[in-house]
Amino acid sequence: MPSSGALSQIFQAALQDRPGAVDQLFAVYRPLLLYLAQRRLRARLRPKAGASDIVQLTEWKAREYFAGQEFATRRNFHAWLCTILDNQLATIGRHFVMAKKRDVARECSLSSPEAKDWLHRLSARVSGRADQLQAAEALEEVMLVFQTLPPHYQLVLRLRYFEMLSFQAIGEQINRQGDAARMLHNRAIASLREKLHASQNGESSRS
């Protein structure tokens, strides 16, 4: 780490956008960011992302917005970098939680009560009638067609009917507004309904 005076000179040069100064500034702070990432990265997340990956993401994000920032002191710059680092850690944490939820839902067999319950709810929403699609064969068809949907459609339907989340909560999970989550859900239902209809028509024409 350079002396305080040398670091101040690097910092001021970077603010003035002198050639090479921004690269030099981030090179100086990189070891500190790596130390903080190692301390703050939870053990359960380490198989998913290393501290160096977090630092790289943090630096990319910081470089993207550096020119538009106004820093009164180096302390302000330091705090800004730490905020970006914490945001990257939080994002990876959210992705880990969402992946765990998808794995739990995926691992529920069709014979389990959990799978039957959420498939009943999904089937009732698609058909518009709660008394329809109750047979095991029909539920299996819904599951098979569901698995052909794009991943973002599968995710929003799992969060809605397996996790029983509100649209506002779903939006928080997928980084969208509640209304946008509702619209995504409606498109997913329409796609599932269309694919089920096509599948059922295909079976009828072959019989």
**pLDDT computed for residue 55 by the predictor:** 86
Q: Is residue 147 pLDDT above 50, yes or no?
A: yes
**Burial of residue 158, with CB atoms counted within 10 A of its CB: 0-12 exposed, 13-18 middle, 19 or more buried:** buried
- What is the torsional sign of CA 39, 43, 44, 45? positive
Question: What is the structure's pLDDT at 186?
Answer: 94
Answer yes or no: is pLDDT of 16 > 60.
Answer: yes
* φ, ψ dihedrals at 160, nearest 5°: -80, -45
8 A C-beta contact, residue 85 and residue 37: yes
What is the signed CA dihedral for 87, 93, 98, 102, rounded to 10 degrees? 150
Give yes or no for residue 19 having a pLDDT over 60: yes
Reply yes or no on whether the pLDDT at 43 is more than 60: yes
**Whole-number pLDDT of residue 207:** 45
The chain-wide mean pLDDT, for the chain, equals 78
Model confidence pLDDT, tens digit, residues 105-115: 455 444 555 55
CA angle 123–126–128, rounded 5-degree value: 95
SS (H, E, C) 58-107: HHHHHHHHHCCCCCCCHHHHHHHHHHHHHHHHHHHHHHHHHHHHHHHHHH
Q: Which residues contact 7 (CB under 8 A, 6 or more apart)?
A: 1, 28, 74
Among 12-16, 85-89, 198-202, name the one with the lowest average pLDDT. Answer: 198-202
